[in-house]
Amino acid sequence: MAERDETLLCCIGVNSDAGFGAVMPPLYLSANYSFDGYEGKREYDYTRSGNPTRSVLADALTQLEGGAGTAITSSGMSAVDLALSLLDSGARVIAPHDCYGGTWRLLTARAKKRQVDVVFIDQSDADAVETALSAGAPALLWIETPSNPLMRVVDIEALAKRAKAVGAKVAVDNTFLSPLLQKPIALGADFVVHSTTKYLNGHSDVVGGAVIAASAEDAAQLTWWANCTGVTGAPFDCWLTLRGLRTLSVRLERQGASAAELARRLTRHEGVRRVHYPGLEAHPTHAIAAKQQAGFGAMLSFEIAAPAATAAPAFVRAIKRFTLAESLGGVESLVAHPATMTHASMSAEARVKAGFDDSLFRLSIGLEHVEDLWADLSAALDATRPAGGFK
C-alpha cells in the first residue's frame, strides 16, 4: 500500500546521500558539476537545468500531487507562466474571473500581445462554462479553487470532464489548499500549479513556485521549457521549501482547526455581516468543498457590519496580533483588506461584480493560540462599533 502523505512529507530524500550518509538531503549550492572525463556527463551538469536539492523537492511534490513530474520555479508567477509556455501561440485560455490578480494580469498582458486568447468567466455558472468551451477550440481551462477573496469553490471533476470533451487541457492552481487537502490530478487535471511561497514553504521566507504534470510527456515539456527560459528555482530556496514542507500536515491541521473555530465565532459577532469560509454549512459552495477537499483550509474572509468608510480603518488601527500584509499560508496570522491591497488593481465596479467591496477583510490563519487570535479579532471588531451601535 502506498504510504500516506504525512509519512512522505517527513521521509522524502531522507538518508539518500551517497557521499557521507547525511540523514537530511544536503544543500547543493554549486552552479556547475564536473564531467567525469571525455563524454562523462554525470546526472547533473549545470544548476539551471538540474540540481540535486531541487530534485528532492520536485520528487516530493510529484508524489504528493500524484503526477508524473514537476518543474520547480523561482516564483508562483513563473510557474503560471511556465504552464502557459506549453501553449501554441494564440491558443484560447478560459480562466475564472475571480482568479489571483497576478494571474489575471499575466493572462491579460499576454493576450494584449496576442500570445494567448483569454476569456474570463464565472466558472460556477454552468451556462457560462458551456458557452466558453463551445467557442474557439479552447486549449486550456484554468481553474483556481477556492477563489480569492471569497473562497468560492468550483467542482474540478465536473469542469475537467467538460473541458476534456472539447479537447482542452486543465490546469488547477492549488495554492490555497496544498496537495494534502486537494488532489486535482485525481479529479482530472493535467497540470497543478503552486505558489510554494504559501503553505508548502509555510514560513513566509521564500518566494517560489511549481508546476506538476499528470503525464510524463507534459512533465518533460515543462522541464525543457523551465531550463530553456531559466525560471528554475534556486537551490537554497528549494532547500528551505523542503524544510518547510516537512511540517505541512501538522501546520495545516492546526491552522485549519483555528480557522474553522474563528469562522464560527465571527458569524456570531454583531460587528460582522457575513463570513466566507467553505467549512461553514451556510457557505454557498460548502457541499462541493466537502466532496472534493480533505479539509476546508485556513483562509477565510468576512464583511464588517458597520459602514466601511470609517469602520474599515478603525478595524485596521485596532488589530494587533494579525499583521496587515498580503500573501498567506505562513505560521503567522495575516489580515488583508482586498479592496486596497490584494485586489487594488481591480476597478471598484469589477470588485462589486466579483461580489465584494470595502467592507471585506481576508484572514490567513497561522499557528498562534486560537484564543489569542479571537481576543485580537473581537477587540478590533468592537472598535468598529458606530456611535448608535451595530444595526
- Number of residues engaging ligand PLP in binding (CB under 6 A): 16
Phi and psi for 280 in degrees, rounded to 5? -80, 135
- Min dist. Cβ of residue 177 to ligand PLP (A): 10
Contact between 322 and 377 (Cβ < 8 Å): yes
Q: Does 241 bind ligand PLP (CB under 6 A)?
A: no
Burial grade of 227 (CB within 10 A; 0-12, 13-18, 19 or more)? middle
Q: Does 147 bind ligand PLP (CB under 6 A)?
A: no
**Cα–Cα distance measured from residue 193 to residue 383, given in angstroms and rounded to the nearest whole number:** 39
Q: Does 173 bind ligand PLP (CB under 6 A)?
A: yes
**Which range of residues in 31-39, 123-131, 171-179, 307-315 is near ligand PLP by CB under 6 A?**
171-179
- Min dist. Cβ of residue 2 to ligand PLP (A): 28
- Min dist. Cβ of residue 217 to ligand PLP (A): 25
Q: Does 209 bind ligand PLP (CB under 6 A)?
A: yes
Residue nearer to ligand PLP on the CB measure, 164 or 203: 203
Contact between 190 and 213 (Cβ < 8 Å): yes
Q: Does 76 bind ligand PLP (CB under 6 A)?
A: yes
Handedness of CA 3, 205, 313, 358 (dihedral sign): negative
Residue of 53, 55, 197, 384 interacting with ligand PLP (CB under 6 A): 197
Using alpha carbons only, what angle is made at residue 118 by residues 137 and 142, rounded to the nearest 5 degrees?
Answer: 80
Phi and psi for 56 in degrees, rounded to 5? -65, -45
- Min dist. Cβ of residue 80 to ligand PLP (A): 6
Active-site positions? 48, 100, 173, 198
Q: Does 207 bind ligand PLP (CB under 6 A)?
A: yes
Residue nearer to ligand PLP on the CB measure, 64 or 314: 64
| Nearest residue to ligand PLP on Cβ basis | 76
Query: Cell 470533451 belongs to which residue?
Result: 165
Residue of 26, 66, 102, 355 interacting with ligand PLP (CB under 6 A): 102
Residue nearer to ligand PLP on the CB measure, 163 or 193: 193
| Number of residues that this document lists for the chain | 391
Say whether 374 sits in a helix, a strand or coil: helix
Residues 6+ apart with CB under 8 A from 330: 198, 202, 203, 204, 364, 366
Q: Does 195 bind ligand PLP (CB under 6 A)?
A: yes
Q: Does 142 bind ligand PLP (CB under 6 A)?
A: no
Using alpha carbons only, what angle is made at residue 124 by residues 336 and 73, rounded to the nearest 5 degrees?
Answer: 55
Q: Does 75 bind ligand PLP (CB under 6 A)?
A: yes
> Could you tell me the strand order of the sheet in which 116-121 lies?
69-73, 209-213, 191-195, 169-173, 140-144, 91-96, 116-121
Residue nearer to ligand PLP on the CB measure, 82 or 305: 82
Residue nearer to ligand PLP on the CB measure, 292 or 384: 292
DSSP calls for 313-355: HHHHHH--SSEE-S---SSS-EEE-TTTTTTTTS-HHHHHHHT
Residue nearer to ligand PLP on the CB measure, 100 or 315: 100
Site string for ligand PLP, 327-366 (x = CB under 6 A): x---------------------------------------
Site string for ligand PLP, 281-310 (x = CB under 6 A): ------------------------------
Burial grade of 352 (CB within 10 A; 0-12, 13-18, 19 or more)? exposed
- Min dist. Cβ of residue 294 to ligand PLP (A): 18
Query: Cell 500500500 belongs to which residue?
Result: 1
Q: Does 100 bind ligand PLP (CB under 6 A)?
A: yes
- Min dist. Cβ of residue 19 to ligand PLP (A): 32
Residues lying near ligand PLP in the complex (CB under 6 A): 75-77, 100, 102-103, 144, 148, 173, 175-176, 195, 197, 207, 209, 327
